[in-house]
Amino acid sequence: MSHRATNWAIQQRGLAPATKLVLWHLCDRHNPDYGCFPSQDQLAADAEISRSSLNVHLDKLEQAGLIRRERRHSEGAHRRQSTRYFLAFEPEFSAQAELPLGPENRPDPCPESRHGNGQKPCPDFAKSHVQNLDTNLVSKEPVITTARDAGATREARVEVDAADEGPDLDAAEAACLAACGEGMTPAARAAITGTTATIGAWLAAGYDLELDVLPVIADRTAKARSSPIRTWEYFSQAIAARHAKRISQAARLQGAGEAGAGPAVAPGSQTATPEDRLARLAAWLNSGAYVPTSAVTNIQRDALLRAGLVSEATLRAHQIY
Protein backbone atom coordinates (compact mmCIF):
# COMPACT_ATOMS: atom_id res chain seq x y z
CA MET A 1 0.00 0.00 0.00
CA SER A 2 1.19 3.53 -0.77
CA HIS A 3 0.02 6.26 1.59
CA ARG A 4 0.96 8.86 -0.98
CA ALA A 5 -1.22 7.17 -3.58
CA THR A 6 -4.27 6.75 -1.32
CA ASN A 7 -3.99 10.34 -0.05
CA TRP A 8 -3.84 11.51 -3.66
CA ALA A 9 -6.96 9.50 -4.50
CA ILE A 10 -8.89 11.02 -1.60
CA GLN A 11 -8.03 14.54 -2.80
CA GLN A 12 -9.55 14.03 -6.26
CA ARG A 13 -12.86 15.84 -6.85
CA GLY A 14 -15.65 15.65 -9.40
CA LEU A 15 -15.85 11.85 -9.57
CA ALA A 16 -18.92 9.73 -9.02
CA PRO A 17 -18.73 7.92 -5.64
CA ALA A 18 -18.31 4.46 -7.18
CA THR A 19 -15.61 5.70 -9.59
CA LYS A 20 -13.71 7.33 -6.74
CA LEU A 21 -13.97 4.11 -4.75
CA VAL A 22 -12.34 2.20 -7.62
CA LEU A 23 -9.57 4.83 -7.78
CA TRP A 24 -8.94 4.50 -4.05
CA HIS A 25 -8.68 0.70 -4.22
CA LEU A 26 -6.39 1.01 -7.23
CA CYS A 27 -4.12 3.34 -5.26
CA ASP A 28 -4.30 1.02 -2.27
CA ARG A 29 -2.67 -1.65 -4.48
CA HIS A 30 0.10 0.72 -5.57
CA ASN A 31 3.67 -0.10 -4.53
CA PRO A 32 5.93 3.00 -4.42
CA ASP A 33 8.95 0.95 -5.59
CA TYR A 34 7.45 -1.34 -8.22
CA GLY A 35 4.23 0.31 -9.41
CA CYS A 36 0.62 -0.84 -9.64
CA PHE A 37 -0.20 -4.26 -11.12
CA PRO A 38 -3.47 -5.56 -9.56
CA SER A 39 -5.52 -8.07 -11.51
CA GLN A 40 -9.05 -7.23 -12.53
CA ASP A 41 -10.38 -9.98 -10.30
CA GLN A 42 -8.56 -8.44 -7.33
CA LEU A 43 -9.82 -4.91 -8.06
CA ALA A 44 -13.39 -6.14 -8.56
CA ALA A 45 -13.21 -8.02 -5.26
CA ASP A 46 -11.80 -4.98 -3.45
CA ALA A 47 -14.57 -2.68 -4.74
CA GLU A 48 -17.29 -5.37 -4.50
CA ILE A 49 -18.46 -4.83 -8.07
CA SER A 50 -18.48 -6.94 -11.23
CA ARG A 51 -15.62 -6.88 -13.70
CA SER A 52 -17.80 -5.22 -16.32
CA SER A 53 -18.68 -2.40 -13.90
CA LEU A 54 -15.03 -2.14 -12.90
CA ASN A 55 -13.97 -1.47 -16.49
CA VAL A 56 -16.64 1.20 -16.90
CA HIS A 57 -15.14 3.07 -13.95
CA LEU A 58 -11.57 2.49 -15.16
CA ASP A 59 -12.56 4.01 -18.52
CA LYS A 60 -13.92 7.07 -16.71
CA LEU A 61 -10.69 7.43 -14.72
CA GLU A 62 -8.61 7.15 -17.88
CA GLN A 63 -10.78 9.70 -19.70
CA ALA A 64 -10.38 12.05 -16.72
CA GLY A 65 -6.59 11.81 -17.08
CA LEU A 66 -6.11 10.22 -13.66
CA ILE A 67 -4.78 6.84 -14.78
CA ARG A 68 -3.19 5.24 -17.82
CA ARG A 69 -3.26 1.49 -18.54
CA GLU A 70 -0.49 -0.47 -20.20
CA ARG A 71 -1.19 -4.02 -21.31
CA ARG A 72 1.63 -6.52 -20.86
CA HIS A 73 2.37 -9.94 -22.34
CA SER A 74 4.94 -12.62 -21.63
CA GLU A 75 8.05 -12.50 -23.81
CA GLY A 76 7.67 -14.79 -26.82
CA ALA A 77 4.19 -15.96 -25.77
CA HIS A 78 0.66 -14.81 -26.39
CA ARG A 79 -0.10 -14.86 -22.67
CA ARG A 80 -1.48 -11.85 -20.89
CA GLN A 81 0.01 -10.52 -17.67
CA SER A 82 -1.51 -8.12 -15.18
CA THR A 83 -2.13 -4.65 -16.58
CA ARG A 84 0.30 -1.93 -15.48
CA TYR A 85 -1.60 1.07 -14.09
CA PHE A 86 0.16 4.46 -14.18
CA LEU A 87 -1.28 7.03 -11.75
CA ALA A 88 -1.26 10.71 -12.67
CA PHE A 89 1.05 11.72 -9.81
CA GLU A 90 3.77 9.26 -10.86
CA PRO A 91 6.76 10.63 -12.84
CA GLU A 92 6.34 7.81 -15.36
CA PHE A 93 2.84 9.07 -16.16
CA SER A 94 4.03 12.52 -17.28
CA ALA A 95 7.20 11.21 -18.93
CA GLN A 96 5.27 8.75 -21.05
CA ALA A 97 2.75 11.41 -22.04
CA GLU A 98 5.55 13.67 -23.31
CA LEU A 99 7.07 11.03 -25.62
CA PRO A 100 6.22 11.27 -29.34
CA LEU A 101 3.79 8.73 -30.61
CA GLY A 102 5.46 5.73 -32.17
CA PRO A 103 5.71 1.95 -31.96
CA GLU A 104 8.72 2.17 -29.66
CA ASN A 105 6.92 3.98 -26.84
CA ARG A 106 3.15 4.32 -27.33
CA PRO A 107 1.68 1.83 -29.76
CA ASP A 108 -1.90 2.19 -30.88
CA PRO A 109 -4.29 0.90 -28.22
CA CYS A 110 -6.07 -2.37 -28.64
CA PRO A 111 -9.32 -1.57 -30.55
CA GLU A 112 -11.45 -3.75 -28.29
CA SER A 113 -9.95 -3.32 -24.83
CA ARG A 114 -8.85 0.31 -25.29
CA HIS A 115 -5.89 -0.30 -23.00
CA GLY A 116 -3.24 2.33 -23.47
CA ASN A 117 -0.21 0.30 -24.52
CA GLY A 118 -0.10 -3.14 -26.11
CA GLN A 119 2.24 -5.05 -28.38
CA LYS A 120 -0.41 -5.40 -31.06
CA PRO A 121 -4.20 -5.25 -31.43
CA CYS A 122 -5.90 -8.23 -29.88
CA PRO A 123 -9.57 -8.33 -30.92
CA ASP A 124 -9.62 -12.11 -30.56
CA PHE A 125 -9.43 -12.17 -26.76
CA ALA A 126 -9.73 -8.63 -25.46
CA LYS A 127 -13.50 -8.67 -25.10
CA SER A 128 -13.48 -11.54 -22.64
CA HIS A 129 -10.80 -9.69 -20.67
CA VAL A 130 -12.58 -6.35 -20.41
CA GLN A 131 -16.28 -7.11 -20.56
CA ASN A 132 -17.18 -10.20 -18.56
CA LEU A 133 -20.87 -9.48 -18.26
CA ASP A 134 -22.03 -12.90 -17.09
CA THR A 135 -19.38 -13.60 -14.48
CA ASN A 136 -18.95 -11.92 -11.15
CA LEU A 137 -16.43 -13.65 -8.95
CA VAL A 138 -17.05 -11.31 -6.04
CA SER A 139 -18.59 -12.97 -3.01
CA LYS A 140 -20.95 -10.58 -1.33
CA GLU A 141 -24.49 -10.21 -0.08
CA PRO A 142 -26.96 -10.00 -2.96
CA VAL A 143 -28.26 -6.59 -3.89
CA ILE A 144 -31.92 -6.65 -4.90
CA THR A 145 -31.61 -4.94 -8.26
CA THR A 146 -33.64 -6.04 -11.25
CA ALA A 147 -33.67 -5.02 -14.88
CA ARG A 148 -36.80 -3.05 -14.12
CA ASP A 149 -34.88 -1.10 -11.46
CA ALA A 150 -32.12 -0.34 -13.95
CA GLY A 151 -34.67 0.87 -16.48
CA ALA A 152 -36.35 2.97 -13.83
CA THR A 153 -33.00 4.55 -13.00
CA ARG A 154 -32.51 5.64 -16.60
CA GLU A 155 -36.09 6.90 -16.84
CA ALA A 156 -35.76 8.82 -13.58
CA ARG A 157 -32.56 10.48 -14.80
CA VAL A 158 -34.24 11.48 -18.06
CA GLU A 159 -37.33 12.86 -16.31
CA VAL A 160 -35.39 14.88 -13.76
CA ASP A 161 -32.86 16.24 -16.25
CA ALA A 162 -35.43 16.99 -18.97
CA ALA A 163 -37.74 18.85 -16.64
CA ASP A 164 -34.77 20.72 -15.14
CA GLU A 165 -36.53 20.65 -11.79
CA GLY A 166 -34.36 20.16 -8.75
CA PRO A 167 -30.84 18.79 -8.71
CA ASP A 168 -29.37 16.38 -11.25
CA LEU A 169 -29.80 12.76 -10.15
CA ASP A 170 -26.05 12.15 -10.00
CA ALA A 171 -25.61 15.28 -7.91
CA ALA A 172 -28.54 14.25 -5.69
CA GLU A 173 -26.98 10.84 -5.04
CA ALA A 174 -23.61 12.45 -4.33
CA ALA A 175 -25.33 14.70 -1.76
CA CYS A 176 -27.03 11.68 -0.20
CA LEU A 177 -23.73 9.82 0.06
CA ALA A 178 -22.09 12.90 1.55
CA ALA A 179 -24.82 13.06 4.21
CA CYS A 180 -24.14 9.48 5.28
CA GLY A 181 -22.26 8.98 8.52
CA GLU A 182 -20.14 6.10 9.76
CA GLY A 183 -23.13 3.79 9.51
CA MET A 184 -22.58 3.66 5.73
CA THR A 185 -19.44 1.61 5.08
CA PRO A 186 -17.42 1.85 1.83
CA ALA A 187 -18.80 -1.52 0.72
CA ALA A 188 -22.36 -0.36 1.39
CA ARG A 189 -21.72 2.89 -0.51
CA ALA A 190 -20.61 0.93 -3.57
CA ALA A 191 -23.61 -1.42 -3.40
CA ILE A 192 -26.25 1.26 -2.77
CA THR A 193 -25.42 3.10 -6.01
CA GLY A 194 -27.16 0.26 -7.83
CA THR A 195 -30.51 1.48 -6.46
CA THR A 196 -30.32 5.11 -7.64
CA ALA A 197 -33.83 4.81 -9.10
CA THR A 198 -35.22 5.26 -5.59
CA ILE A 199 -33.71 8.75 -5.34
CA GLY A 200 -35.35 9.62 -8.65
CA ALA A 201 -38.68 8.44 -7.22
CA TRP A 202 -38.20 10.65 -4.14
CA LEU A 203 -37.59 13.71 -6.29
CA ALA A 204 -40.51 12.85 -8.59
CA ALA A 205 -42.79 12.55 -5.54
CA GLY A 206 -41.90 16.09 -4.51
CA TYR A 207 -39.68 15.30 -1.55
CA ASP A 208 -37.28 18.16 -0.85
CA LEU A 209 -33.65 17.03 -0.94
CA GLU A 210 -32.46 19.45 1.75
CA LEU A 211 -35.51 19.41 4.03
CA ASP A 212 -36.81 15.84 3.71
CA VAL A 213 -34.14 13.49 2.35
CA LEU A 214 -30.74 14.49 3.69
CA PRO A 215 -31.78 14.94 7.37
CA VAL A 216 -33.29 11.44 7.44
CA ILE A 217 -30.21 9.86 5.83
CA ALA A 218 -27.87 11.64 8.23
CA ASP A 219 -29.95 10.57 11.24
CA ARG A 220 -30.25 6.91 10.16
CA THR A 221 -26.51 6.52 9.42
CA ALA A 222 -25.05 8.53 12.30
CA LYS A 223 -23.83 5.42 14.14
CA ALA A 224 -22.12 2.21 13.07
CA ARG A 225 -24.51 -0.60 12.16
CA SER A 226 -24.31 -4.36 12.57
CA SER A 227 -26.14 -4.94 9.27
CA PRO A 228 -25.20 -2.90 6.15
CA ILE A 229 -27.65 -0.68 4.25
CA ARG A 230 -27.54 -1.73 0.58
CA THR A 231 -30.58 0.05 -0.90
CA TRP A 232 -31.89 3.63 -0.77
CA GLU A 233 -35.37 2.15 -0.27
CA TYR A 234 -34.40 1.64 3.37
CA PHE A 235 -34.94 5.38 3.96
CA SER A 236 -38.18 5.80 1.96
CA GLN A 237 -40.70 5.34 4.78
CA ALA A 238 -38.97 7.77 7.12
CA ILE A 239 -38.56 10.35 4.33
CA ALA A 240 -42.25 10.09 3.46
CA ALA A 241 -43.18 10.61 7.10
CA ARG A 242 -40.96 13.65 7.45
CA HIS A 243 -42.31 15.14 4.22
CA ALA A 244 -45.95 14.60 5.26
CA LYS A 245 -45.34 16.13 8.67
CA ARG A 246 -43.57 19.16 7.21
CA ILE A 247 -46.30 19.81 4.63
CA SER A 248 -49.05 19.31 7.20
CA GLN A 249 -47.47 21.75 9.62
CA ALA A 250 -46.97 24.33 6.88
CA ALA A 251 -50.61 24.00 5.77
CA ARG A 252 -51.93 24.43 9.31
CA LEU A 253 -49.77 27.47 9.96
CA GLN A 254 -50.85 29.03 6.66
CA GLY A 255 -54.51 28.30 7.39
CA ALA A 256 -54.27 29.87 10.81
CA GLY A 257 -52.73 33.00 9.32
CA GLU A 258 -55.35 33.33 6.59
CA ALA A 259 -58.16 32.94 9.12
CA GLY A 260 -56.82 35.86 11.14
CA ALA A 261 -56.16 33.68 14.13
CA GLY A 262 -53.20 35.78 15.18
CA PRO A 263 -49.59 34.70 15.12
CA ALA A 264 -49.04 31.12 14.05
CA VAL A 265 -48.14 28.71 16.81
CA ALA A 266 -45.46 26.18 16.00
CA PRO A 267 -46.43 22.60 16.83
CA GLY A 268 -45.12 21.55 20.21
CA SER A 269 -44.42 25.12 21.39
CA GLN A 270 -45.12 26.07 24.98
CA THR A 271 -47.89 28.53 24.02
CA ALA A 272 -50.02 25.87 22.30
CA THR A 273 -52.77 24.49 24.54
CA PRO A 274 -53.24 20.71 25.00
CA GLU A 275 -56.50 21.00 23.08
CA ASP A 276 -54.70 22.64 20.14
CA ARG A 277 -52.04 19.95 20.05
CA LEU A 278 -54.69 17.23 20.24
CA ALA A 279 -56.67 18.83 17.39
CA ARG A 280 -53.56 19.00 15.20
CA LEU A 281 -52.77 15.36 15.93
CA ALA A 282 -56.34 14.38 15.00
CA ALA A 283 -56.07 16.33 11.73
CA TRP A 284 -52.86 14.51 10.90
CA LEU A 285 -54.41 11.10 11.58
CA ASN A 286 -57.59 11.87 9.64
CA SER A 287 -55.65 13.24 6.65
CA GLY A 288 -54.65 9.74 5.54
CA ALA A 289 -50.95 10.66 5.55
CA TYR A 290 -48.39 8.33 7.04
CA VAL A 291 -48.21 8.63 10.85
CA PRO A 292 -45.55 6.69 12.78
CA THR A 293 -46.99 4.65 15.64
CA SER A 294 -44.50 6.31 17.97
CA ALA A 295 -46.08 9.72 17.22
CA VAL A 296 -49.17 8.93 19.33
CA THR A 297 -48.82 8.01 23.01
CA ASN A 298 -51.36 5.87 24.86
CA ILE A 299 -52.58 8.95 26.75
CA GLN A 300 -53.11 10.87 23.49
CA ARG A 301 -54.88 7.88 21.94
CA ASP A 302 -57.36 7.70 24.85
CA ALA A 303 -57.89 11.47 24.81
CA LEU A 304 -58.60 11.44 21.06
CA LEU A 305 -61.19 8.71 21.46
CA ARG A 306 -62.87 10.40 24.44
CA ALA A 307 -63.12 13.68 22.54
CA GLY A 308 -64.48 11.90 19.47
CA LEU A 309 -61.78 13.44 17.27
CA VAL A 310 -60.82 10.14 15.65
CA SER A 311 -62.39 6.72 15.35
CA GLU A 312 -60.96 3.39 16.41
CA ALA A 313 -60.92 2.34 12.74
CA THR A 314 -58.71 5.32 11.88
CA LEU A 315 -56.29 4.44 14.66
CA ARG A 316 -56.18 0.79 13.58
CA ALA A 317 -55.44 1.89 10.02
CA HIS A 318 -52.32 3.55 11.38
CA GLN A 319 -51.54 0.43 13.49
CA ILE A 320 -52.24 2.34 16.70
CA TYR A 321 -54.05 0.17 19.21
Q: Tell me: the pLDDT tens digits for 97-142? A: 544 444 444 444 444 444 444 444 444 444 445 444 444 444 444 4
| Shared domain check, 122 and 189 | no
Q: What percent of the chain has pLDDT over 70?
A: 69
Cα 97 to the chain's mean position, in Å? 34
Number of structural domains, the chain? 3
How many CA within 13 A on the CB side of residue 127?
4
Question: Of 130, 155, 177, which residue sits at a domain end?
Answer: 130
| Rounded Cα–Cα distance for residues 203 and 151 (Å) | 17
Question: Of 189, 223, 240, which residue sits at a domain end?
Answer: 240
Instruction: Give the pLDDT band (50/70/90) at residue 213.
Output: very high
What integer pLDDT is reported at residue 61 of this predicted model?
A: 93
Rounded to the nearest integer, the mean pLDDT of the chain is 75
| Rounded Cα–Cα distance for residues 110 and 120 (Å) | 7
Please check whether residue 51 lies inside any domain of the structure: yes
Instruction: Give the pLDDT band (50/70/90) at residue 7.
Output: confident
| Shared domain check, 204 and 320 | no
Question: Of 130, 155, 173, which residue sits at a domain end?
Answer: 130
Please check whether residue 136 lies inside any domain of the structure: no
| Shared domain check, 236 and 276 | no
What integer pLDDT is reported at residue 269 of this predicted model?
A: 44
Question: What burial class does residue 156 get, using C-beta atoms within 10 Å of its C-beta: 0-12 exposed, 13-18 middle, 19+ buried?
Answer: buried
Please check whether residue 262 lies inside any domain of the structure: no
Residue of 274, 217, 283, 224 lying closest to 249 (CA atoms)? 283
| Shared domain check, 211 and 92 | no
Q: How do residues 235-293 score in pLDDT, each as one tens digit? A: 999 999 999 888 888 777 766 655 544 444 444 444 567 777 888 888 888 887 888 87
Poorest-pLDDT segment among 24-28, 33-37, 70-74, 211-215 = 70-74
Please check whether residue 220 lies inside any domain of the structure: yes
What integer pLDDT is reported at residue 77 of this predicted model?
A: 60
Instruction: Give the pLDDT band (50/70/90) at residue 219.
Output: very high
| Shared domain check, 117 and 33 | yes
| Shared domain check, 288 and 208 | no
| Shared domain check, 302 and 223 | no
Q: Can you tell me the mean pLDDT for 150-158?
A: 46
What integer pLDDT is reported at residue 78 of this predicted model?
A: 65
Instruction: Give the pLDDT band (50/70/90) at residue 76.
Output: low
- The boundaries of the domain holding residue 84 are 3-130
Task: Pick 133 or 310 by higher pLDDT.
Answer: 310
Please report, for the domain that includes residue 28, its CATH number: 1.10.10.10
What integer pLDDT is reported at residue 214 of this predicted model?
A: 93
| Shared domain check, 125 and 152 | no
What integer pLDDT is reported at residue 60 of this predicted model?
A: 93
Reduce the DSSP state of residue 269 to 3 states and report it. coil
How many CA within 13 A on the CB side of residue 144?
7
| Shared domain check, 159 and 62 | no
Please check whether residue 251 lies inside any domain of the structure: no
Please check whether residue 248 lies inside any domain of the structure: no
